[in-house]
Amino acid sequence: MDCDLTCSTLHAYFDNELSAASDAEFKRHLEHCSDCVAELDACYFVRDSLQRSHIYERAPALLRRTIRADLRSFAPTTASSQPLWWYWLAAAAALLFVAILLGSVGHGLSGDDYQAELAGEIVDAHVRSLQPGPLTGIASNDGRIVSGWFDAKLKFAVPVREFANEGFALKGGRLDVMEGRSVAVLVYERNGHPINVFIWRTREPDTSARTGSRRGFQWVDWRKGKMEFCAVSDADLVDLEKLHQLISSSA
């Protein structure tokens, strides 16, 4: 009954947390979605009621400045019904993923435009990956189930293999959209460290693995058979390179 966006993008839009591009896109969506228009009205009503009622003394200026000063990186609590590592890894991986795209060749826009667009995409993907409700995805250690899930959603075939015997447990998969392209994400776990493997179509030729490290996360990126793969994790690079080997040789 409800539009898919009413519990996700809509609230970020309402709080002015979307990039200019996504904001404009959502405004266009509003032109033909009565569910979202109604939901937005309800949000405005709550906000107006709260603000006009003066039931709350705004925090003194000094306290407000203190709250706004020095944003600390957030620390996850363990008391959560959602698998919190989903959010952590989704957020961090999304950031890293785009950093890697920034380094890749063949984009048409000028340097500055591209950076600005991608900065917007980073924030959007970050915000989207942390929205309430279950992450669009499938939790399963069965490669056929995960593969079948992707088949129903993507135009390209996603190679899904189980490597439990080699110490990489398949945990599931999910989808993301970055730079307007659909990206499949396979989730493995190695010694308690979740690994996200981003997979998307490319026209570029095959490459050997490039590796890197950023903000405490490691990544391995390679291209094979018109697909690009990027594995991201806080696990050791040695482990990621092993996973790269396993995935490449099984394709």
Partner 1 sequence: MNDLEPVATPESIAIADEGRERLTRGLETLPPRHREVLVLRELEGCSYKEIPATTSIPIGTVMSSLFRARRQSQSVLINPGCKELLRGL
Residues that bind partner 1 (CB under 8 A): 7, 11-12, 15, 17, 42-43, 45-47, 49-56, 58-59, 64, 67-68, 70-72, 74-77, 80, 82, 84, 87, 91, 127, 130-133
Q: What is the DSSP string of 175-237?
A: EEEETTEEEEEEEEEETTEEEEEEEEE--SPPEEEEEEEETTEEEEEEEETTEEEEEEESS-H
Least distance from C-beta 245 to partner 1, angstroms? 33
Distances (CA, A) of 132 to 5, 83, 84, 122, 215: 11, 12, 12, 18, 25
Nearer to partner 1, 51 or 207 (CB): 51
Q: Rounded to whole angstroms, how far apart are CA atoms 220 and 3?
A: 37
Nearer to partner 1, 18 or 227 (CB): 18
Least distance from C-beta 31 to partner 1, angstroms? 23
Q: Rounded to whole angstroms, how far apart are CA atoms 79 and 76?
A: 9
Least distance from C-beta 65 to partner 1, angstroms? 12
Contact 221, 204 (CB under 8 A): no
User: Buried (b) or exposed (e) across 221-242, using 16+ Cβ within 10 A?
Assistant: bbbbeebbbbbbbebeeebbeb
Nearer to partner 1, 12 or 243 (CB): 12
Least distance from C-beta 39 to partner 1, angstroms? 9
Nearer to partner 1, 43 or 102 (CB): 43
Nearer to partner 1, 69 or 238 (CB): 69
Nearer to partner 1, 61 or 238 (CB): 61
Least distance from C-beta 71 to partner 1, angstroms? 5
Least distance from C-beta 58 to partner 1, angstroms? 7
Determine the residue type at 196: N
Per-residue DSSP letter, 7 = G
